[in-house]
Structure 1
Amino acid sequence: MAGCVIVRVTILGCCGSIPGPDRAASGYLLEAGGFTMGIDLGNGTLARLQAVRDPFELDALLLSHLHPDHCADFSALTVLRRYHPAPPFDTRERRLPVYAPSQAPARLANAYAPHESERLETDLSDVFEFHALHHGVLRVGPFQVTAVPVTHPTESFGVRVTDGARTFAYTGDTGECPALDELAEGADVLLAEATWTHADDRPPGLHLSGRQAGELAARARVGRLLLTHVAPWTDGEAVLREARSRYDGPVRLVEQGAVYDI
């Protein structure tokens, strides 16, 4: 929808790998023109979502991958949509669209199952409408979303989102890979994971350092760099210094609860 300005990205949580003290794991809201898309829903993010928005106001949810720090609160969202005594609409008539890796229906059902005997029989399609992500473009409300497979131990995607006027890119969890340049090229805002500081012995194909996130932002000529997914045992200020040493544009370490215009 050309001309519909992406209003804001809200940080529900930004702690990497696990939640930290009073800090939720990964979760974000991207909003434009009255449409709200959740991106990831890690440990603690549903609580943060309820603090800023009615969860029933979510119009769509996108999960970059199925590690718990990016999707653990999906089970709680299932309980909310199935058992809230007075929802604002019939959640079975108005299922929430969920865009996620191909194994999401089965793996999220297994995570939700109340006990072992129900694991294989649990089906979440009564309140969710699942769509498998793949390398390509899809329309989600006012957004054109390009999903790009990235390098991580499980099926993982970065996403590039545009409304025709502004472009937001999110790396998800990833090690260095050529796909990141496609993802970030010319984006107005790049939300990049930066789990740790740089070292030559970091395991490949897992996460980015602050330095690598800064190099990506510089190489892709992005307008602004936002750093996220810093692990609770990592010095965030050191990660920020690394990014600034490689990228001379605006860069910030995101904060839980912060709202950034795009």
Structure 2
Amino acid sequence: MRLTVLGCSGSVTGPDSPASGYLVTAPDAPPLVVDFGGGVLGALQRHANPNDVTVLLSHLHADHCLDVPGLLVWRRYGPEPAAERALLYGPEDAALRLGTASAEVGGECDDVSDTLEVRGWVDREPVKFGELSVTPFKVFHPPQSYGLRVVDSAGAVLAYSGDTGACSAVEELAQGADVFLCEASWTHDPGNRPVGVHLSGTEAGEVARRAGVGQLLLTHIPPWTSREDVLAEARAAFDGPVRAVNASESFDVVKSGSAVRRQTS
């Protein structure tokens, strides 16, 4: 299983990265794009044909889904129109929300069913995509939001926090994962941030430690948050390998002590 970072900037697009989007590939599975924030469609074109992908949305905040209207344009009007509808999994109101964003006229809703077969996540119910199994876990974030646990045929586990505050669900989905791709949106200052919503670097490290993960990959760091401070917090809380990901990096997710071998994209 390979993880390619299409975008990792938190909350908004950044000067060096699109917003949230990750490509997960395996030999006997369709390419999966996990989240589809601003700029992700452009980055995806370097790695896969957008007509071929399955889309998995953790939630419907703009920085995680608002390049999907561009995907509709690609699939409908590109020089090689898609032969069949793409699968898209997300929260239960995904078709309505994405259709509203794509509508030609304000107050109307684009019927996306010509292009997308939209299905809703069911908490803790695994979905198979070839050799990959993806289990959604409902996490602690203002809209209906899910973290995802992806397992390949060799038993390697990639856990993705999605956007979440500290909660038992994120620890459960990360349990024993070879790689934990975890948001860390701010530094740990409880007096200067709301409860829930996002994790600090300290909290991401604490979750990784309690879950016994192989490697912690930090993501969703906004342009205004210090990557160095978030990294330092996570490393103080978790004694395993920790890094903050960058756009265009790829990682092999393997079932081993080292968990990840960094690749060049």
Same fold at TM > 0.5: yes
Match of 1:197 in 2: 187
CA distance in 2, matches of 1:173, 1:210: 13
CA distances 1:200-241 after superposition (whole Å, capped 9, x unpaired):
122112000011000000000000100000010000011001
Letter in 1 for 2:220: H
Distance (whole Å) between structure 2 residues aligned to residue 50 and residue 184 of structure 1:
30
| Residue correspondences, number | 249
Distance of 2:234 and 2:11 partners within structure 1: 20
CA distance in 1, matches of 2:76, 2:121: 24
Q: Which residue of 2 aligns with 1:160?
A: 149
Once residues 170 and 150 of structure 2 are traced to their aligned partners in structure 1, the CA distance between those partners, rounded to angstroms, is: 14
Deviation at 1:142, TM superposition (A): 1.7
Is 1:40 aligned with 2:35?
yes
SS of residue paired to 2:135: strand
Gaps of 5+ in 1: 1-5
Residues 192-231 of structure 1 mapped to structure 2, 5 A cutoff: 192-201=182-191, 202-231=193-222
Letter in 2 for 1:140: F
CA distance in 1, matches of 2:80, 2:94: 27
Q: What's the CA shift for 1:140?
A: 2.2
Q: Secondary structure at the match of 2:231?
A: helix
Match 1:259 to one of 242, 250, 253? 250
Q: Specify which of 80, 83, 104 is matched with residue 86 of structure 1.
A: 80
Which residue among 113, 116, 131 is the counterpart of 1:128? 116
Q: Could you tell me how far apart the structure 2 residues matched to 1:86 and 1:144 are?
A: 30
* 1:52 Cα deviation after fit: 2.8
Aligned with residue 30 of structure 1, among 24, 29, 35: 24
Alignment counterpart, residue 145 of structure 1, candidates 134, 140, 158 = 134
Q: Give the C-alpha shift of residue 54 in structure 1.
A: 2.1
Whichever residue aligns with residue 15 of structure 1, its letter is S
| Contact 2:16–2:247 (8 Å) recurs in 1 | no
Q: Which amino acid aligns with 2:66?
A: A
What percentage of residue pairs aligned between the two structures are identical? 48
Summarize deviations over 1:156-189 as a string: whole Å, max 9, x none: 0000010141011000000001111111000000
> Which structure 2 residue ranges, 5 or more long, are not aligned?
254-265
Runs (4+) off by over 6 Å:
none
In the superposition, the TM-score normalised over structure 1's length comes to 0.92
Residue-by-residue CA offset, 1:113-164 (whole Å, 9 max, x unaligned): 02226x13x2101111111012122212221111000011100000001014
The normalised TM-score by structure 2 is: 0.91
User: SS in structure 2 opposite 1:125?
Assistant: helix
Encode CA deviations 1:53-100: one digit per residue, 9 max, x unaligned: 321231x1100000010001000001111111323x42xxx1101010
Q: 1:238 aligns with which of 220, 229, 237?
A: 229
Question: Residue 113 of structure 2: SS of its match in structure 1?
Answer: coil
Matches of 2:160 and 2:80 in 1, distance apart?
35
Partner secondary structure for residue 149 of structure 2: strand
Q: Alpha-carbon deviation of 1:50? A: 1.3
**Aligned residue in 1 for 2:258:** none
- What is the CA distance between 1:190 and its match in structure 2? 0.3
Match status 1:179 vs 2:169? yes
Counterpart for residue 75 of structure 1:
69
Residue 46 of structure 2 corresponds to which residue in structure 1? 51
Aligned position for 2:93 = 103
